[in-house]
Structure 1
């Protein structure tokens, strides 16, 4: 039996043993006085209104039913107060958004409300309090006793329950202080309502109820507007942070993490729309980015597909509303869900999907905030793409598309720092120069020479692969940076490259030939190798050493050779 099922059975069993028998005993020993049905219904209506207009304290809804609870107890006694408190409990549970299921919350909260009412009510009666008394002094003293015992009993039960579940809960926390403050701030309303109703009848409910509920409604609207304003401010901050990112990966990572934190979601997915398919770009689960393991799916499948096809956003409060849509990429524990198309230049580029384990996790204004954030994201992503293209253009040779000297200078500097800090055991630089390249240009033309450079760059890139970095050093010189390669291994690597180039036939167009036809020619290369840490601990010295090995050890020795730097 899983822990949740076991807990549910224990709670319902305890409820059956405590609440129904307890209600029967209270009715038998402390029966309610004669009362008008209209009066009870009026109080019930006010209980419902109090549940519909909660105050928001530090983001937590607070239901101000205490002022009614005390008044009902003083007028009708314990049994009626228990019944109305139970009805209030059900309304609050249905409205309150938590991760726990109703089947767990109802038995626990029912027992808690019952225990609080019973403990406070019996304390009032045993202390000498009198139901229906109109002596103001007694009403205030014993009413305050009832209110104090109710508050303490409520806090003790919550604290004990949290400890039983193994959760940490401070007894004197900020929430406790707020509860205490609100409880005793509304106490005068309770006394005023009770005394006024005794003299003026149901009219007292209107005289006190209308301004009270008007006040709570205004506070409720104000706190909601504050929540919207705070979310807008946070969205603006996220927008600035995204704009500061210069790579697409940074923008994607920052966007997913920040949005997940802002909306307090459990799962977040960024899905790309390209070539008629949906491809997962980022998956945020269990408070961190996860490896991507989902294959592309057809663009019109699931909630993401519907968001693209209809160019519309979605917000669902529970899985029952979207379970019929195929959503294999969404975590199985998801309940609440928001989906927002991401557009750039009036074209849908992808979809953002946010989900939470708890039901009713999202508010309507959050969908609008998400729309704003998606716009920030699309603009920042486009900017990052342009920046990356500009950087790539500045770091690449325009002819061969290999890295240029500027990039090589930075790369070898970083690698040498790793060697000096012992992060890398070895680092080798292989410098290559085409033999008799001027003669090729003179015979076939400079454009033909460029064709050789391009083809050679492609060949070197293919041979080196992910083992190192290939760069054009200038003219017909090329450099290969090999992190982790010792001098001996680099010499063997360079020799294999030399042999492969020697036997490779390059096809060019002869610009100086009358027929301007294609010609197949072969070339050779002289190669020099320098390694760290044995040859040098300085980045630029590594280049000079490889260059020296190239010209003295290979060129002057007859060309088409591999030579190592020697001190």
Structure 2
């Protein structure tokens, strides 16, 4: 929710200073409420105050059912008393809604709203010229109109104010429809209370109020139980979906997206434990529905909310800013109110931390701690499985010595790129085959491990020189192969020449394993390169590799080495 400007807050108080006395003056002259039995009046006010303290939640909506009480008050003592009752009830309503000094403007906002709506609804009721003695049917119809005006005018007023300050949302949401239905269904209770007050006096509020409040409490408990069961079912479903993902990024994306199904979220942070550095490092950062860069400073153990959760291994829940403001160290958005922070554990060890936050107060029920702990255990397992899978995939497709792709993976990729070429997704596909000149002499002079060191250095040089343009693999022994997609033979030749020149001018450091002191030695080396392209040279992936090999040995090796040769038919 956007911050209300200071000018608007002052304007609300000014409007209240004008409307508050004027509203009571008008109401008193319309219906002064003479002959009030203050025992009945006090019982109605007491019942309304208690009802204001006992809302219940359905999904993310908080519903206060008190309009049936102000209907009974209006029918019994008229507009002035009903307006007075609603102004009194406003105080516990705002206290229950956790009004703070920062949101004190809500008092004049709602006070003026209640007053204007009471005047409107009461005025329409009187214009209908319905008397209590008019009969049951007309009274029911007029009461339904009265209740509907209350809820509809309330809806319009709040929607208009939020639109004015820039908080845009759907005019008619499922939560709004639920509020309409619950309020309209309470209308018969208001009529029943009115009739009972005529017969029994103040005891009528006990006779009807106690069962109503009891039903409200039962609904609150039932709804809480239903929410727990629903959230457990959702978390189990999410857990199964997480288990199906084999990529860590996909696991995190699914987890953070699905959290919104469980609770109203504005901010989500997943922090990974780096035991070697003793820090929490950001893995995922979602703010206001947008993925943000992971550029926030790491958190040390015991620092801030997430650091304390990592240290203790126990979840923390805060329902308003005043509860956590002194716990915070480092970055946290200023408009956050509710925070829930849960350790992500595997084998009873915290491996990450989840911190979720909302701009609303009391956004998270206590039952969500247990739900999130279950869900976070699914996340920990899914991330570990994904990391193991990715590690195994990497091992299966990489050369253990150089870290480059192995030939099996290269061959599979070559087939895919050749398929793209034949479907017209690119104009050319070229292949560069590279061989180290006189590599056997290196092994014989310095030892095979020194030769391996040289291969690793060359692999790094190839990545640095051509990594942006080519997929690089170790072909076997001292040979390397580069696949350059979308490049013509001439362009691939230029890349090959750049590699050849870079290698020739580079000094490589290796350990002399065959010398007495095994000292470090500097050596120079050269490479021979063969280039072939498709569709210019062949329409077969296998022949593309053969043609590059032919260019390498006939065009470069046999003609003196340290050359780049292109395939010629």
What TM-score does the superposition give when structure 1 sets the normalisation length?
A: 0.86
| Separation in 1, partners of 2:396, 2:520 | 33
Matched, 1:495 2:500: yes
Question: Quick check: 1:370 aligned with 2:372?
Answer: yes
Moved more, 207-216 or 366-375: 207-216
State the secondary structure of the residue aligned to 1:351: strand
Match among 257, 279, 282 for residue 281 of structure 2: 279
The match for 1:351 among 353, 374, 392 is: 353
Bigger Cα displacement from structure 2, 555-564 vs 368-377: 555-564
1:106 paired with 2:111, answer no
Matching of residues 135-214 of structure 1 within 5 Å: 135=133, 137-138=134-135, 141-142=138-139, 144-152=141-149, 154-156=151-153, 158-159=155-156, 162-163=159-160, 165=163, 167=168, 170=171, 178-214=178-214
SS of the residue 1:32 aligns to = coil
Q: Which residue of 2 aligns with 1:306?
A: 308
Q: Which residue of 1 aligns with 2:122?
A: 121
Q: 1:377 to 1:422 in 2, by over 3 A?
A: same
SS of alignment partner, residue 77 of structure 1: helix
Q: Which moved more, 1:399-408 or 1:99-108?
A: 99-108
Query: For the residues of structure 2 that align with 1:385 and 1:96, how far apart are their CA atoms?
Result: 45
Gap change, CA 1:380 and 1:493, over 3 Å in 2: same
The structural deviation recorded for 1:397 is: 2.4
CA positional deviation for 1:179 = 4.7
For the residues of structure 2 that align with 1:76 and 1:96, how far apart are their CA atoms?
A: 29
* Structure 1 position 469, deviation (Å): 3.7
Provide the secondary structure at the position in 2 that maps to 1:268. strand
Partner Cα distance (2:508, 2:151) in 1: 86
3-state DSSP class of the match of 1:312?
coil
Counterpart of 2:237 in structure 1 is 237
My pick for the range that moved more, 97-106 or 77-86, is 97-106
Alpha-carbon distance between aligned partners in 2 of 1:495 and 1:54, rounded to the nearest angstrom: 77
Once structures 1 and 2 are overlaid, which stretch shifts more, 414-423 or 243-252? 414-423
Q: Does 1:81 align with 2:78?
A: no
Residues 408 and 320 of structure 1: CA distance in aligned 2, closer, same or farther (over 3 Å): same
Question: Is residue 2:554 matched to residue 1:552?
Answer: yes
**Deviation, structure 1 residue 380:** 0.9
Is this contact kept in 2: 1:98–1:359, CA < 8 A? no
The answer to whether the 8 A contact 2:431-2:492 is kept is: no
> Counterparts in 2 of 1:115-514, with a 5 A limit?
115-130=116-131, 135=133, 137-138=134-135, 141-142=138-139, 144-152=141-149, 154-156=151-153, 158-159=155-156, 162-163=159-160, 165=163, 167=168, 170=171, 178-260=178-260, 262-274=262-274, 275-415=277-417, 428-435=430-437, 448-449=447-448, 451-465=450-464, 466-467=467-468, 468-482=470-484, 486-500=491-505, 504=508, 506-507=510-511, 509-510=513-514
Residues 190-242 of structure 1: CA deviation (Å, up to 9, x unaligned): 22222222222333323322322222222222222222222222222222222
Instruction: Please list the CA deviations of residues 36-93 of structure 1 after superposition, one character each: whole Å capped at 9, or x if unmatched.
Output: 4433222222112322333545542322222222211222222221111122233333
Cα pair 1:74 1:143 within 8 Å, conserved: no
For the residues of structure 2 that align with 1:535 and 1:107, how far apart are their CA atoms?
Answer: 82
Counterpart CA distance in 2 for 1:543 and 1:55 is 72
Superposition TM-score, scaled by structure 2 size: 0.86
Moved more, 160-169 or 269-278: 160-169
C-alpha separation between the residues in 2 aligned to 1:97 and 1:480? 65
Q: Secondary structure at the match of 1:360?
A: coil
Q: Do the aligned residues in 2 keep the contact of 1:313 with 1:339 (CA within 8 Å)?
A: yes
Taking a change above 3 Å as real, the CA distance of residues 395 and 179 of structure 1, as seen in their structure-2 partners, is: closer
Cα displacement (A) at 1:333: 2.0
Report deviation, 1:390. 0.8
Gapped runs of 5+ residues in structure 1? none
Q: CA 1:61/1:260 → structure 2, altered by over 3 Å: closer, same or farther?
A: closer
Q: Is the 8 A contact 2:251 2:382 kept in 1?
A: yes
Q: CA deviation at 1:291?
A: 1.4
Aligned length: 554
Separation in structure 1 between the aligned mates of residue 178 and residue 250 of structure 2, nearest angstrom = 41
User: Separation in 2 of the partners of 1:424 and 1:327?
Assistant: 52
CA separation of 1:437/1:368 partners in 2, compared to 1, >3 Å: closer, same or farther?
same
Contact 2:504/2:524 (8 A) holds in 1: no
Is the contact made by 1:66 and 1:183 (CA closer than 8 Å) also made in structure 2?
yes
For 1:313 and 1:259, locate their aligned partners in 2 and report how far apart those are by CA, in whole Å.
Answer: 16
- CA distance in structure 1 between the aligned counterparts of 2:375 and 2:397, rounded to whole angstroms: 32
Bigger CA drift: 263-272 or 50-59?
50-59
2-structure distance, mates of 1:117, 1:381: 57
Q: CA contact under 8 A between 2:143 and 2:187: conserved in structure 1?
A: no
> In the aligned structure 2, how far is the partner of 1:150 from the partner of 1:42?
21
Q: Which runs of 5+ in 2 are unaligned?
A: none
Change (3 A) 1:558 1:179: closer
CA RMSD of aligned residues (A): 3.4
Of stretches 235-244 and 157-166 in structure 1, the one that deviates more from structure 2 is 157-166
Query: How big is the shift at 1:320?
Result: 1.6
8 A contact 2:159–2:171 mirrored in 1 = no
1:3-18 aligned within 5 A: 4-18=5-19
- Of residues 417-426 and 327-336 in structure 1, the stretch that sits farther from structure 2 once superposed is 417-426
SS at match of 1:480: strand
